[in-house]
A and B are shown apart, each in its own frame.
Chain A
Amino acid sequence: MSQRPEDDEIEITLLGPGRGECCVLHVGGGEWLVIDSCVTQTGHPAALFYLESLGVSPTAVRWIVATHWHDDHIRCFATLVEKCSQARVFHSAALEKDEFTVLAALDADSLIEGSSGAKEMWKTWTYLKNSGRGSPELTLSDLRIFQRPLGLSPNCEIWALSPSNASVAKAITNFSTLIAKVGQPKRAIPRPERNPSSVVIWVRTGDVIVLLGADLERTSEVSRGWQAIINSNGRPLEQAHLIKIPHHGSHDAHDQAMWNNLLVPYPIAGLTPFKQGNINLPRNSDRARIASLTSQAWLTRDNATARPKRRPRPVTKTIKEATRRFERLSINPGRVTFRCHSTQPVRWTVDAPSPAIQL
């Protein structure tokens, strides 16, 4: 779709992985919400690239949310925040705590080149502090972060459904285990396997409701993860018509109660793939499970890896000899765009150009 949505249309565009994922939403009235950040081949925020392709100025972005600090969700986040000069910036309340701010300060000082999520968060804070834009706003469960004033159309509400207080407490415990001790070697902060404090966003524009699942996981405790949201009395109770499937469709993030309670039957669904080490998401079993829950699910790319770069023959030969596996991570994010009129949540237009696929 190369034309910008009408004022009374809602649009959800999923981008990823390039690496990471990002979600760009038009919530009506020419106002945009960007959730997370991934980058293009040239290293620029993919969200800005997409908005530019529609002729939308970054100043139309009113809200930016970092769902969590893992590097595949906040690549170039500081640049995104800087360019979107009119945007309010949100992240999990867990990140304001001593444990995470010290972790980020240490990572920024580690001499390890390259991007880690904690370093990017420190960079974002430093920018906000130095530019005078002030502190980011903190999200907790059941927090309404925007309501369009009465009389302006279409009506719109944006809610954060997580993290719960128990999730924040769990995240703080996890952060403290990542803080380096005296005498430990300097390393990049490894990407934690668990992510208890991801920010789930719920948006209603007109009659259309969407749920952006971030990387929130299923837990056995009712006070954390999807269970905390399902059991909350403070959240809006209407079911969503579209879901950004959490954590790249992984089994760890699948909670059947979420599908039963928070979504209409057979909702529209979108997700992005992920690759790290031996982990390839979504797995075949994940794809089958998602396909059983909805026939309208799209993946931004079939695979998070791409054909290896062409190199001189001696290099290619040595790569084969020296490695067990060698793959290129995808270069440019794939894209799936969903649009519908704010009064007609059943009539969606889906634009999923290659390499996006329907599951």
Chain B
Amino acid sequence: MIRQEEVDAAKIEIIHPEVAAFQLDWLLLQVTRNRLGFHSNRESHYEAARDLLIGTLDLLRHMPTRALGVNHNLVLEYETQGHCNQLGRELVPENKWTTVLQRPAMARVEEQGERTDGQDGYIRVRIEPILDEGTKVLCEVNDHFNLSPDNLPSSTVAIVKLLNEEWRNIAERATHIIQYVETLLR
């Protein structure tokens, strides 16, 4: 599932009794007691990360699986911190808080919507300023699917199906939402 030279160069990071991580130059794979995460910061390798998960699930066909989240993050970079503040005020009106807080400002906004594709789950958007980067705001779109873990082995099979059939829709949805957030300050 991975090129031999990447296996040779992989870093295995072990940090916690219940957390293990494996790192390639295009991927971070994390395993916790009840979660498996594949993270990539290279758009050229997003599908490779997906395929590695598909391959992993093929080995874990009998693992009861509750949910699948596909998350796209993008950093919006503004010219000044004032623009970031303005975005915060668009999302959370400042005057709602001035009677109880001194100089209120948006620290994090999460908005959740229902799925429109008939699947069980939700779409959640998180917008949050980035530490030390006064002009940057993280925008994350979480495409979340709930699964029935009791229905073995179909829960992992269902994930593989979702990853394969919904991949492009998920990416398009994330792009659409992020583009919407970008328009809030135009």
Contacts and interface: CB of A to CB of B under 8 A. Distances in A.
A111 interface: yes
Interface residues of B, number: 4
A327 interface: no
B169 to A, nearest CB: 12
B160 interface: yes
B164 to A, nearest CB: 5
A113 B164 CA distance: 7
B54 interface: yes
Nearest to B47: A113
A111 B55 CA distance: 11
Contacts of B160: 111
A125 B80 CA distance: 59
Contacts, number: 5
A353 B54 CA distance: 48
B57 to A, nearest CB: 11
Nearest to A111: B164
Nearest to A112: B164
Contacts of B164: 111, 113
Contacts of B54: 111
A111 B166 CA distance: 12
Interface string A15-36: 0000000000000000000000
Nearest to B164: A111
Contacts of A113: 164, 167
Interface string B45-67: 00000000010000000000000
A145 B21 CA distance: 64
Interface in B139-186: 160, 164, 167
Contacts of A111: 54, 160, 164
A358 B62 CA distance: 62
A105 to B, nearest CB: 16
> Which of B54, B160, B164, B167 has most chain A Cβ within 10 Å?
B164
Interface in A99-135: 111, 113
A190 B167 CA distance: 24
B163 to A, nearest CB: 9
A111 B167 CA distance: 12
A182 to B, nearest CB: 14
A111 B160 CA distance: 8
Nearest to B161: A111
5 contacts: A111-B54, A111-B160, A111-B164, A113-B164, A113-B167
